[in-house]
Amino acid sequence: MQHGKIVCIGQNYRAHVKEMRSTEPEEPMLFLKPSSAIIGDGETIEAGAVGRVDHEVELALVIGRTATKVSEGEALSHVSHLAVFNDITARDMQAKARKAGNPWTLSKGMDTFAPMSRPVPISSVKDLHDLDLELRVNGEMRQKGNTGDMIFGPEALVSYISRFMTLEPGDIIATGTPEGVSPLSDGDRVEASIPGVGAVRNTFRRV
């Protein structure tokens, strides 16, 4: 599957908004990651001397049919697949950018910063509004959440984004992370998983 833009949603779970000392958004908060950041299961997440680097487990929606100005009712008919996504973040760089009022692009968009599981057809998943999100580092649970706790659910996100930018087949929406984000150390084994959807396992390396 050829992937296009990755539209990421920030601060879409209340407890994560709190741990980031941020305020709950009135509308979905969007940023983009380049598709060049995508890696698959078993590949290595690499970061240089960029300070703290965090994991963020998320549900990814993969667009199957072009969506421009679609209603919430039509939204899911434009999503063909689901996947597990790990929104790797250079947290110190992001904090510096936030403080200066600058974009997050670099802190989120570096090569290997978008591990993603193999997408599965949305029809194979029972209920995308009740999926457990899990993230383990060296086998220890660090994040545990449920897609039912999103502030803006999948339909609202697809509809909202499509009001402003056309979603094309292969585009990805990363729907935000629950609480429990934590820093990675050289050699850590990171596993992001959503039972019923899949898992993506990667080793973290300082290079």
**What is the spatial distance between Cα 154 and Cα 148, in angstroms, rounded to a whole number?**
10
| Shortest distance in whole angstroms from residue 79 CB to Mg ion | 18
- Residue with Cβ nearer Mg ion (46 or 56): 56
Residue nearest to Mg ion (CB): 87
In the bound state with Mg ion, the residue whose beta carbon lies nearer, of 56 and 134, is 56
Considering the complex, what minimum distance in angstroms separates the CB of residue 71 from Mg ion?
26
The dihedrals phi and psi of 71, each to the nearest 5 degrees, come to -80, 165
| Closest distance of CB 56 from Mg ion, Å | 4
Tell me the CA distances in angstroms from 35 to 5, 32, 41, 58, 75, one per residue in order: 6, 9, 16, 16, 22
Nearer CB in complex with Mg ion: 32/74: 32
- By three-state DSSP, how is residue 207 classified? coil
Q: Compute how many other C-beta atoms are within 10 angstroms of the C-beta atom of residue 132.
A: 15
- Please list, in sequence order, all residues whose beta carbon lies within 8 angstroms of the beta carbon of residue 163, skipping any fewer than 6 positions away: 69
Residues 6+ apart with CB under 8 A from 59: 82, 83, 84, 85, 128, 131, 133, 147, 154, 174, 175, 194, 197
Nearest approach in angstroms of CB 174 to Mg ion is 6
Q: Which is nearer to Mg ion, 79 or 192 (CB)?
A: 192
Residue 164 buriedness (CB in 10 A; 0-12 / 13-18 / 19+): exposed
Q: How far is the CB of 8 from Mg ion (least distance, A)?
A: 6
The nearest distance, CB 61 to Mg ion, in angstroms, is: 14
User: Which one, 87 or 191, has the nearer CB to Mg ion?
Assistant: 87
Contact residues toward Mg ion (CB under 5 A) are 56, 87, 177
Alpha carbons 118 and 151: distance in angstroms, whole number: 26
Q: Which CB, 143 or 177, lies closer to Mg ion?
A: 177
> How far is Cα 35 from Cα 33, in angstroms, rounded to an integer?
7
